[in-house]
Structure 1
Amino acid sequence: MQYRVNPKNGDRLSQLGLGCMRFPKSEEETRKMIVQAVKDGVNYFDTAYIYSGSEETLGKIVKEEGLRDKIFIATKLPPYLVKKPEDLDKIFHTQLERLQTDYIDYYFMHMLTDELTWERLKGLGICEWIAQKKESGQIRNIGFSYHGGKEEFIKIIDAYDWEFCMIQYNYFDEHKQAGRSGLEYAHAKGLPVMIMEPLRGGKLVTKLPQKVYETFREADANRSPAEWALRWVWNHKEVTVVLSGMNSMQMLEENVYTASQAKAGQMSKEELALFRKVSDILDRSIKVACTACGYCMPCPRGVDIPTCFAVYNDMSVEGKWASVKNYLMQTSIKKEPHNASLCVDCGKCEQHCPQNIEIRKELKNVKRALEGIYYKPARVLIKKFFKF
């Protein structure tokens, strides 16, 4: 296993982390995998309050196997369940009990959607609460995970003295969500950056165009699509830990092998050219030739145009219903929504688009594809649950 150093505190973190959202079906299999992962050098384990049974299972196995002092545990606070100041301690103490520990190494604000969500938490005393937990040693490092556009990511980064963050990043999403520019911005601020979805939930392994598989097979190196994708992420010096939701010993073995080989800046010119070829193939399957440059922003009505187009384009890989879910999460489940149907045809965006995209026309296509008859009821129900 190779390690990357947290510049904030000197922690040596395994560059492969185990994402604990989907453990194997049986506790026995999960135990074997966790124990083997630690033997293989994995020392970063990521779970969350809302991952059903995950914290309890991880805590039990770590306690019984005597692994606590060998690993870093990361877990997450769900902002939408914090309605009053007392909820902070209630949720946190529940997590400590589940994990059978008296401290959390890396504690996330889970899926901060925009700066307004953070401002709401500040109004409930979150900054003072964090300071108290840090002083007591119950929280060692504080950060946030993020899904959304680049502009809001930068705002959240600058809104607090964070100690780490987590973004979705892979070769398909290089210029989507926080993207490469967000990764580089966080790194420049001295933040360790944890990466989720390096394989897009397996879609960069099993749901690629046939031409992509053929392109990988033409390469000199004999690697699976998963190994290619992981090596691409680890090639970035700005990346600290890459999470993989491994749920079998075979997946663990394959990913540990790749993690033991891949280094930042290691990819050759030929290999990087391979990814440009793969990207060209994927780009030909997209619907809108948006490069997410952001020149069209800000929209007077609040539409997050690059994010709307990014989710719309992802339908070729994600499929219809996964794209609708992503669309809701990235544009609509916010205090101030940013979805396509907010467009009023003013045309200001098109005056600045270097790609000469018919943005108003394409936003109507986004609306038709992703804001069908179930969109408004789903948004109302989810927001009611979140109680914004």
Structure 2
Amino acid sequence: MITRREYLKLSMAAGVALAIKPGIIWAGDRDLPMITRTIPGTDEAVPVVGLGSSATFRSVAEAGEYDRIKAVFEKLAGHENSVFDTAPGYGGSEEVAGRLVNELGIRDKVFWATKLNVAPRGGGSADPEAAREQLERSFDFVRKDPIDLIQVHNLGDVETQIPILKEYKEEGRIRYIGVTTTFPRQYEQLESVMKNYELDFIGVDYAIDNHTMEERIFPMAKDKGIGVLVYAPFGRTRLWEKVDGKEVPDWAAEFDAHTWGQFFLKWVVANPVVTAATPATSRARHMADNMGAALGKLPDEEMRARMVRHIESL
């Protein structure tokens, strides 16, 4: 078993082969099946690993390094209906990504998920007109109408903004609506919003060392038929710091994981409540590595428990 760093060196050497089929260097000539998950209440499926656009993606987008991001999107679009998650709050990411998917002609191959959250007015509530203006900018950026998914970012004034999203959905301009948060202080509010509003999706943090969502939020999502997007499946940088310099265990090959990125992602998406994980990256080779987690087998519950114990032991 080799480290993620060694794998990425091999992936660059593999060049064309890896560009066509992530995971080929592990499977030889044998094709591994793409793992997809059906959006609750529909017959629409998405690959269980997509792409986020915060963190480094934002900085690269703002620096104008379009070729790097273009290569990432080319990897993503190799798998039909892969989720791309962005937000107006991620600096220039939404605008740059919208431009690129249109230049590449892949706009309709990507499941486009963005967000809504305008700054509150003096009284603490969101300005409905400002919210609509932000939504229209999102439509202008991606030139996709309807947009696949728009969620209220970080539970920002849901009493004002969820009804606006519902209005757009009823008009046929948004296919799915939801809310997001990655802040523990908002988990109780998230639970309340899930109880009181009709949502298609939630976006939350979940990782092999962060199981809070399993306690109340995931069971409710399952019961109410709400799709789940997972953010920060690597604990941002927390998990990379934990495994730095350590090798992936040999037994990870039993579920087709050959790098730490695949190890962490397969643990996350093996939870059947999770619709897709959207780790952010601005490097094509990382995108290929991440998409490798959507190929082949997933760990069962016994194996997932073993994976948790292994990480806890490091």
Question: Normalising by the residue count of structure 2, what TM-score does the alignment of the two structures yield?
Answer: 0.76
Question: Is 2:200 the partner of 1:154?
Answer: no
113, 117, 128: which is aligned to 1:78? 117
70, 81, 87: which is aligned to 2:130? 87
Residue deviations 1:208-242, cap 9 Å, x none? 177x947x547464743322211111111111011
In 2, distance between residues paired with 1:139 and 1:83? 20
Q: CA deviation at 1:41?
A: 4.3
Residues 1:271 and 1:78: Cα distance change in structure 2 (over 3 Å)? closer
Q: Partner residue of 1:235?
A: 270
Q: Aligned residues, how many?
A: 266
Question: Is 2:67 the partner of 1:28?
Answer: yes
Residue deviations 1:353-383, cap 9 Å, x none? xxxxxxxxxxxxxxxxxxxxxxxxxxxxxxx
Which residue type is aligned with residue 86 of structure 1? E
- The question of whether the paired residues in 2 share the 8 Å contact of 1:43 and 1:72 is answered with yes
Q: Partner residue of 1:182?
A: 217
In 2, distance between residues paired with 1:45 and 1:220? 27
Question: Is 2:83 the partner of 1:49?
Answer: no
Q: Which has the larger radius of gyration?
A: 1
Q: CA deviation at 1:192?
A: 0.8
Q: Partner residue of 1:386?
A: none
- Give me the CA root mean square deviation: 2.5
Unpaired stretches in structure 2, ≥5 consecutive residues:
1-33
Q: CA deviation at 1:135?
A: 2.4
Question: Is 2:248 the partner of 1:208?
Answer: no
SS of structure 1 residue aligned to 2:264 = helix
SS of structure 2 residue aligned to 1:16 = coil
In 1, distance between residues paired with 2:113 and 2:195? 22
Q: Partner residue of 2:11?
A: none
In 1, distance between residues paired with 2:86 and 2:271? 24
Residue deviations 1:36-78, cap 9 Å, x none? 2211446211110111111111111111222122121100011
SS of structure 1 residue aligned to 2:50 = strand
Residues 1:267 and 1:192: Cα distance change in structure 2 (over 3 Å)? same
Which residue type is aligned with residue 47 of structure 2? S
Question: Is 2:234 the partner of 1:199?
Answer: yes
SS of structure 2 residue aligned to 1:172 = coil
Q: Partner residue of 1:286?
A: none
Q: CA deviation at 1:151?
A: 2.8
Q: CA deviation at 1:262?
A: 4.1
In 2, distance between residues paired with 1:76 and 1:62? 18
Q: CA deviation at 1:168?
A: 0.3
Q: CA deviation at 1:130?
A: 2.9
Q: Partner residue of 2:177?
A: 142
Unpaired stretches in structure 1, ≥5 consecutive residues:
283-388
Q: Partner residue of 2:151?
A: 108
In 2, distance between residues paired with 1:208 and 1:92? 39
In 1, distance between residues paired with 2:204 and 2:297? 20
Identity of aligned residues (%): 24
Which residue type is aligned with residue 90 of structure 2? Y
In 2, distance between residues paired with 1:56 and 1:274? 38
- The question of whether the paired residues in 1 share the 8 Å contact of 2:107 and 2:142 is answered with no
Q: Equivalences for 1:357-372 in 2 at 5 Å?
A: none
SS of structure 1 residue aligned to 2:176 = strand
122, 129, 140: which is aligned to 1:97? 140
Q: CA deviation at 1:179?
A: 4.2
Which residue type is aligned with residue 85 of structure 1? P
Q: Partner residue of 2:76?
A: 37
Q: Partner residue of 2:103?
A: 64
Which residue type is aligned with residue 92 of structure 2? G
Q: Partner residue of 1:351?
A: none
Which residue type is aligned with residue 34 of structure 1? F
Which residue type is aligned with residue 169 of structure 1? Y
Residues 1:268 and 1:185: Cα distance change in structure 2 (over 3 Å)? closer
Which residue type is aligned with residue 65 of structure 1? L
Residues 1:131 and 1:144: Cα distance change in structure 2 (over 3 Å)? closer
In 2, distance between residues paired with 1:49 and 1:220? 38
SS of structure 2 residue aligned to 1:171 = coil
Of structures 1 and 2, the one scoring higher in RCO (CA 8 A, sep 6+) is 2
- The question of whether the paired residues in 1 share the 8 Å contact of 2:209 and 2:308 is answered with no
In 1, distance between residues paired with 2:91 and 2:235? 21
- The question of whether the paired residues in 1 share the 8 Å contact of 2:39 and 2:227 is answered with yes
Question: Is 2:48 the partner of 1:15?
Answer: yes
